[in-house]
C-alpha cells in the first residue's frame, strides 16, 4: 500500500502496519509529541492498522485536533482516578473543551476540594504508570452486556441509543474501560502537566428533569510551563469577570427580586451606557440612518405574520391577554420597522431606507443558561433594518462593513474574524436570489479587502449573512456584529416599491446589529478593559484630591472648571491620607488623579497622576483641560471613517 505524507512524499509499505509504524518508516521522528494521526482526513489512534493507500498526517498538541485527543485522553485518566477512589461513582460522558476537559459522574454527593486533591494525585500516578491505551470493539448486545456487568447504567443507556449493526468501541487503560469513539494517546504517560480546576452540578443530558451529575473540570498541557501560563490567564479572566468588576465599580446588578436575566444599570453603568448610546445615535444620523422607536409589546397576530409564533415560540415569553386580544412581549424589532416602511407607498428612488433603533427585546432563556450580562432575558439590540433594491445589496453591505469596523475600533477592538454563511438545507427564496445575495456579500467583503472564511450552510433560512467576531485583550473571540440578508419578511409582509418600470417590486431587507446587544457588549467591554475604561467612556474622568482641609475651596473650584469644560470630575475631600485616597481612585479605575496641596493652590496648578501610576507632573487647570480634551478626541473623533 502507498502511504503519502502531507508534504507529498510517500512510502510503499506492506498492508497491516500501524499508523505509528508507517509514520516512523516515513522518517517522521516519532517522539512523544506525535499523539495521533489523520488518515484520509479521519482522526485515528497511532495503533490503528492500515489496510490500503492512505494520506497520513501526524497530529501534535499544536493543532486543535491534536489538543482534542490530548484532552480527551486526560478526561479518561481523571475518570480512571475517580473510579479507583470512588468505585460506586458511575461514568457518563467526558468531552474535551477548547482549553480544558470535563467528566460528569453520577455520584451520591458533590466532590469536595479534598476529593479533588486526591483525584488529581491519583491521576498523576496513573500518568506515571504509563499504561498503554487500547481500543476494542463490541457488537451492540455485547457492549450492553459488558457495561451492565460493570454497573454503568448511563453507558448502557447511551449504547441503547446507538445504531444496531455498527461496532461499538471502548478504550482500556489498565483495568479501566470506557465506552468511547476515540481516538486516544498511545499511553497515559503521554500526558505531561495535569490539573483539576473545579466542580459543578450538571443534569444528565442537560435536562433539569434528569438526575444531577457531578462534573469535574480539568486541564492538561505537555509542559508545566504551558500549564502555569494557562492558569495565570484563567486568573486574569477571573479578575476581569464582568460580574465581579460590575459589582466592584457599582455599574450593574442582576437581582433575584427583579428576576433572572434582567439587568439594573446603576448610575455609573448607566452613564457609560448613555455615552455609548449617544455615540451610536450620532454616528447613525451621520451615516444616513433614520432613527425610530417602537413599543415593547404588540398584538400576537403581528408575530404570526412575521413567523415568530411558528418558528420562534420557544424563545418568547408567554403572550398576555389584554381586553379581547392577545399581546406579545417583543423578541425582535424587525416587524415594527417593516410596518413603518409599509406605512407609505415607496418608489425605487426612496431606496435604500435605513431604520435604526436601540430596541429593547425580551427573550425566554432557560435559567440555567443565563450568565451575567452575556446571556440575559431582556436586552437592547443596536438594531437596524435596511430596505433596498436587489442591485443595492453590495453597496449597502459595504457601507455597513465600514461602519461596523469603525464602531468596533472606537471601542478598542482591532482584531476581527469574519464569516460568510451560505444557504442552509432548509431555506426560503429561490436559488437565484440566494446566489445573487451571496455573491453581493462576497463582493462587498472583497471590495473592502476583508479577509473572511466561508461557513457553508450556516446562513439563516431567510438569507445569507456575514458575522464578525472581535478579539478581546485576553485573545478571546466574541461574536457581536451580524449582517443578514432577508428574502422572507418582505414576502410575508408583502412589501413593495414602485420600480422604474412603473411596476411593483419586492425590496430586499437587511437586518444588522453592530454591537449585538448593549448588555452583552458592555459585559465584553468590562472584561476587555478590566474595568479601566478609556477616558471617553470612563464615568469619572478625573478625581481631584485635597491633601488637607486647606485646599477644600480650591479643589471644588477645579472640579467646577472641569465640569464647565464638559468633563466628568469628582472631588475627594475626605479627611484621609493622600496615599489612601490615591489608591481608592486607582481602584475605581479613574483615568486621572489631580492632587492639590498648598503648593498647587499657590501656583494655580494640579499634580497629575495616571491610573496606572504614571506621573504626568504639574499642570495648570487649562493645561489639564487641554490634555484631557486631546485624549478624548484621539479616542473618538480621529477614528471616524474618511469617506
Ligand atoms: Zn472517551
Ligand atoms: Zn431584524
Active site residue 381: yes
Average pLDDT over residues 164-180: 94
| Confidence band, pLDDT 50/70/90 cuts, at residue 13 | confident
Which residue in 283, 381, 436, 541 is the catalytic one? 381
Which pLDDT value is given to residue 5? Answer: 83
- As a whole number of angstroms, the distance between CA 230 and CA 296 comes to 44
Question: Confidence class of residue 2 from pLDDT cuts 50, 70 and 90?
Answer: confident
Who has greater pLDDT, 637 or 389? Answer: 389
| 511 assigned to active site | yes
The answer to whether the beta carbons of residues 133 and 184 sit under 8 Å apart is yes
Confidence of residue 30 (pLDDT cuts 50, 70, 90): low
Provide the pLDDT confidence category of residue 10 given band limits of 50, 70 and 90.
confident
**Residue 386 phi, psi (nearest 5):** -110, 135
pLDDT above 90 coverage of the chain, percent = 86
Provide the β-strand partners of residue 136. Answer: 170
How much distance in Å is there from the Cα of 148 to the middle of ligand 1? 18
363 in active site: yes
Please give the model's pTM, rounded to 2 decimal places.
0.82
CB 221 within 8 A of CB 331: no
Residue 9 above 70 pLDDT?
yes
The phi and psi torsions of 97 (rounded to 5 degrees) equal -110, -170
Q: Does residue 109 carry a pLDDT above 90?
A: yes
Ligand 2: centre distance to CA 83 (Å): 51
Distance CA 19, CA 37 (A): 7
Q: Tell me: pLDDT of 527 over 90.
A: yes
Q: Which long-range contacts (CB under 8 A, 24 or more apart) does 226-234 make?
A: 226/193, 227/192, 227/193, 227/194, 227/195, 230/99, 231/195, 233/474, 234/197
Give the number of the ligand closest to the Cα of residue 511. 2
pLDDT number for residue 211: 93
Report in angstroms the alpha-carbon separations of 28 from 9, 19, 37, 70: 11, 11, 12, 19
| Ligand 2 midpoint to CA 425 (Å) | 21
Question: What gap in Å lies between CA 448 and CA 394, rounded to an integer?
Answer: 11
Answer whether residue 75 shows pLDDT above 90. yes
pLDDT for 101? 97
Q: Kindly name the residue from 71, 363, 528, 611 that is annotated as catalytic.
A: 363
Dig out the grid coordinates for 268 from the structure.
455609573
Average pLDDT for 58-70: 94
531, 249 in Cβ contact below 8 A? yes
Length of the chain equals: 643
Closest to 182 measured CA to CA, from 44, 19, 37, 35: 44
| Rounded alpha-carbon distances, angstroms, from residue 118 to 83, 107, 115, 198, 626 | 12, 16, 5, 13, 61
Q: Is the pLDDT of residue 301 over 90?
A: yes
pLDDT band at 555 (very low <50, low <70, confident <90, very high): very high
pLDDT above 70: residue 202: yes
455 DSSP assignment: E
pLDDT one-digit tens code per residue, 231-260: 999 999 999 999 999 999 999 999 999 999
Over residues 430-449, mean pLDDT: 93
Q: Check residue 461 and give its pLDDT.
A: 87
pLDDT digits (tens, 9 = 90+) for 498-507: 999 999 999 9
Catalytic: 465? yes
Residue 572 has pLDDT above 80, yes or no: yes
Confidence category of residue 429, pLDDT binned at 50, 70, 90: confident
Q: What is the pLDDT of residue 640?
A: 52
Told to judge if 471 belongs to the known catalytic residues of this protein, a careful annotator would answer no
State how far the Cα of 124 lies from the Cα of 126, in Å rounded to an integer: 5
pLDDT band at 643 (very low <50, low <70, confident <90, very high): very low
For ligand 2, an ion, list residues with CB under 5 A. 334, 511
Q: Other CB atoms closer than 10 Å to residue 284's CB: what's the count?
A: 22
State the average pLDDT over residues 501-518. 96
Separation of 260 CA from ligand 2 center, angstroms?
A: 25
Mean pLDDT of the chain: 94
Reference 83, options 101, 106, 102; nearest CA is 106
Specify whether the CB–CB gap between 65 and 83 falls below 8 A.
Answer: no
pLDDT at 28 (0 to 100): 67
Would the pLDDT of 117 be above 90? Answer: yes
The per-residue pLDDT for 427 is 85
User: What percentage of the chain reaches a pLDDT higher than 70?
Assistant: 98
pLDDT band at 642 (very low <50, low <70, confident <90, very high): very low
Between the CA of residue 428 and those of 136, 459, 463, what are the distances in Å?
46, 11, 8
Per-residue 3-state assignment (H helix, E strand, C coil) for 344-400: CCCEHHHCCEEEEEEEEEECCCCHHHCECCCECCEEEEEEEEEEECHHHHHHHHHHH
What's the average model confidence in pLDDT over 568-573?
97
Residue 464 Cα, ligand 2 centroid: separation in angstroms?
14
Asked whether residue 82 carries a pLDDT value surpassing 80, the answer given is yes
Residue 210 binned pLDDT confidence (cut-offs 50, 70, 90): very high
> Does residue 122 register a pLDDT over 90?
yes
Q: What is the pLDDT of residue 33?
A: 85
Amino acid at each position: 500500500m502507498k502511504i503519502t505524507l502531507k508534504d507529498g512524499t510517500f512510502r510503499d509499505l506492506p498492508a497491516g502496519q500501524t499508523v505509528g509504524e508507517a509514520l516512523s518508516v516515513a522518517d517522521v521522528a516519532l517522539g512523544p509529541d506525535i499523539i495521533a494521526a489523520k488518515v484520509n482526513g479521519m482522526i485515528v489512534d497511532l495503533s490503528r492498522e492500515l489496510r490500503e493507500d492512505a494520506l497520513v498526517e501526524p497530529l501534535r498538541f499544536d493543532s486543535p485536533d491534536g489538543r482534542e485527543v490530548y484532552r480527551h485522553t486526560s478526561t479518561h485518566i481523571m475518570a480512571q482516578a475517580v473510579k479507583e477512589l470512588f468505585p460506586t461513582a458511575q461514568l457518563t460522558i467526558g468531552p474535551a473543551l477548547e482549553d480544558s476537559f470535563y467528566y460528569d459522574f453520577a455520584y451520591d454527593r458533590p466532590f469536595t476540594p479534598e476529593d479533588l486533591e486526591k483525584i488529581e494525585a491519583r491521576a498523576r500516578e496513573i500518568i506515571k504508570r504509563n499504561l498503554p491505551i487500547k481500543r476494542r470493539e463490541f457488537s451492540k448486545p455485547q457492549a450492553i452486556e459488558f457495561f451492565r456487568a460493570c454497573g454503568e447504567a448511563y453507558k448502557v443507556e447511551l449504547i441503547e441509543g446507538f445504531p444496531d449493526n455498527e461496532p461499538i468501541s471502548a478504550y482500556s487503560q489498565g483495568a479501566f474501560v470506557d465506552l468511547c469513539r476515540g481516538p486516544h494517546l498511545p499511553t497515559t504517560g503521554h500526558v505531561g502537566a495535569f490539573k483539576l480546576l473545579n466542580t459543578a452540578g450538571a443534569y444528565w443530558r442537560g435536562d433539569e428533569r434528569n438526575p444531577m451529575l457531578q462534573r469535574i473540570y480539568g486541564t492538561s498541557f505537555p509542559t508545566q510551563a504551558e500549564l502555569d501560563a494557562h492558569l495565570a490567564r484563567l486568573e486574569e479572566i477571573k479578575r476581569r469577570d464582568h460580574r465581579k468588576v460590575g459589582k466592584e465599580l457599582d455599574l450593574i446588578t442582576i437581582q433575584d427580586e427583579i428576576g433572572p436575566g434582567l439587568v439594573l444599570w446603576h448610575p455609573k453603568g448607566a452613564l457609560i451606557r448613555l455615552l455609548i448610546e449617544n455615540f451610536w445615535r450620532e454616528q447613525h444620523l451621520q451615516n444616513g440612518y433614520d432613527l425610530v422607536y417602537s413599543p415593547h409589546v404588540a398584538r400576537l397576530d403581528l408575530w404570526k405574520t412575521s413567523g415568530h409564533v411558528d418558528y420562534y415560540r420557544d424563545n418568547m415569553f408567554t403572550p398576555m391577554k389584554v381586553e379581547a386580544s392577545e399581546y406579545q412581549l417583543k423578541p425582535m424589532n424587525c416587524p415594527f420597522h417593516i410596518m413603518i416602511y409599509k406605512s407609505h407607498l415607496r418608489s425605487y428612488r426612496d431606496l435604500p431606507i435605513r431604520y435604526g433603533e436601540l430596541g429593547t427585546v425580551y427573550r425566554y432563556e432557560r435559567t440555567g443558561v443565563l450568565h451575567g450580562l452575556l446571556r440575559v432575558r431582556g436586552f437592547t439590540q443596536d438594531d437596524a433594518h435596511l430596505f433596498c433594491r436587489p442591485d443595492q445589496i453590495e453597496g449597502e453591505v459595504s457601507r455597513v462593513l465600514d461602519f461596523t469596523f469603525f464602531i468596533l475600533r472606537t471601542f478598542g477592538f482591532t482584531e476581527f474574524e469574519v464569516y460568510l454563511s451560505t444557504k442552509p438545507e432548509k431555506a426560503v427564496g429561490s436559488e437565484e436570489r440566494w446566489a445573487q445575495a451571496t455573491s453581493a456579500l462576497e463582493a462587498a467583503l472583497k471590495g473592502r479587502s476583508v479577509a473572511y472564511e466561508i461557513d457553508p450552510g450556516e446562513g439563516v433560512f431567510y438569507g445569507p449573512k456575514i458575522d464578525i467576531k472581535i478579539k478581546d485583550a485576553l485573545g478571546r473571540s466574541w461574536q457581536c456584529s451580524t449582517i443578514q440578508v432577508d428574502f422572507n419578511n418582505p414576502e410575508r409582509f408583502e412589501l413593495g416599491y414602485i420600480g422604474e418600470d412603473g411596476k411593483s417590486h419586492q425590496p430586499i431587507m437587511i437586518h444588522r446589529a453592530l454591537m449585538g446587544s448593549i448588555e452583552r457588549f458592555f459585559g465584553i467591554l468590562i472584561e476587555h478593559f478590566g474595568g479601566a475604561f478609556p477616558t471617553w467612556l470612563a464615568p469619572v474622568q478625573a478625581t481631584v484630591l485635597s491633601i488637607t482641609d486647606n485646599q477644600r475651596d480650591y479643589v471644588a473650584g477645579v472640579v467646577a472648571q472641569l465640569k464647565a469644560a464638559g468633563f466628568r470630575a469628582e472631588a475627594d475631600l475626605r479627611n484621609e491620607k493622600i496615599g489612601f485616597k490615591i489608591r481608592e481612585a486607582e481602584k475605581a479605575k479613574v483615568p486621572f488623579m489631580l492632587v492639590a496641596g498648598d503648593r498647587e493652590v499657590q501656583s494655580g496648578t494640579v499634580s497629575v497622576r495616571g491610573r496606572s501610576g504614571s506621573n504626568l507632573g504639574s499642570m495648570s487647570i487649562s493645561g489639564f483641560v487641554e490634555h484631557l480634551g486631546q485624549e478624548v478626541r484621539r479616542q473618538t473623533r480621529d477614528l471616524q471613517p474618511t469617506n
